[in-house]
Every structure is written in structure tokens, then in C-alpha cells.
């Protein structure tokens, strides 16, 4: 599986009328729980003070990641930045690059 660091900025979401905002967040919570369940979303954190989050996501590839992100109810309002992650030698012991 490929892992990704994903920043999601939901500032624009907060500009919605209150009832719409509540409805989208409700659907977003359900979608998020499903993705947690499926393992596509490993863990999500809030950036304190900000209207967004950062998370560790995993998918077979960038296509599957995009599908998951695009399926989120917040997608139309979200500004998303994705960074590909590679395995660190600390977890594999493979330090050939520095021997």
C-alpha cells in the first residue's frame, strides 16, 4: 500500500449557511468513519485553531487516494495538498545509502 500525508483546509466550508454546514459535516463524519474502517484513512488530526486537518492516508496508488478524497462530502469546499510518503530506513534498517 502507498502512504500519503494529506492536508485538508476546510475554511470555505465555514462560509456555508449554518444548516448546510451542519448537513455536510454530518455526512462527512459518516464518510470519514467508513474510510477509517476501510483503512484508507489511518489517522486524522486537527491543526489547532485551523479549519482543517492533516492525516495519514493509504491506498493502492494515487488514483485510489484521489477517488477517496473526491468522494468526501467536503471535497467541493476543500483545498487539499497531498505528499507521497516513502518508508524510512529507521523502520527497515536499510542504511546502505550511508555506509
For residue 28, give the nearest of 62, 80, 76, 79 by alpha carbon.
76
For residue 56, give the nearest of 19, 2, 4, 94 by alpha carbon.
4
Using CB under 8 A, which residues numbered 35 to 74 contact a second copy?
A: 36, 41, 43-50, 53-56, 61-63, 65-66, 69-70
- Binding string, residues 5-24; x marks residues near a second copy by CB under 8 A: xx-x--x--x------xx--
The Cα 46–Cα 40 span in angstroms is 18
3-state secondary structure of 50: coil
Which stretches of the chain bind a second copy, using CB under 8 A? 2-6, 8, 11, 14, 21-22, 25-26, 29, 32-33, 36, 41, 43-50, 53-56, 61-63, 65-66, 69-70, 76, 79-91, 95, 97-99
Amino acid at each position: 500500500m502507498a502512504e500519503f500525508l494529506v492536508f485538508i483546509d476546510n475554511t470555505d466550508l465555514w462560509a456555508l449557511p449554518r444548516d448546510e454546514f451542519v448537513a455536510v459535516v454530518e455526512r462527512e463524519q459518516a464518510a470519514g468513519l467508513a474510510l477509517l474502517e476501510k483503512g484508507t484513512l489511518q489517522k486524522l488530526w486537527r491543526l489547532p485553531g485551523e479549519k482543517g486537518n492533516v492525516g495519514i492516508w493509504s491506498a493502492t496508488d494515487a488514483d485510489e487516494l484521489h477517488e477517496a478524497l473526491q468522494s468526501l462530502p467536503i471535497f467541493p469546499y476543500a483545498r487539499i495538498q497531498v505528499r507521497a510518503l516513502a518508508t524510512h530506513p529507521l523502520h527497515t534498517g536499510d542504511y546502505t545509502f550511508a555506509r
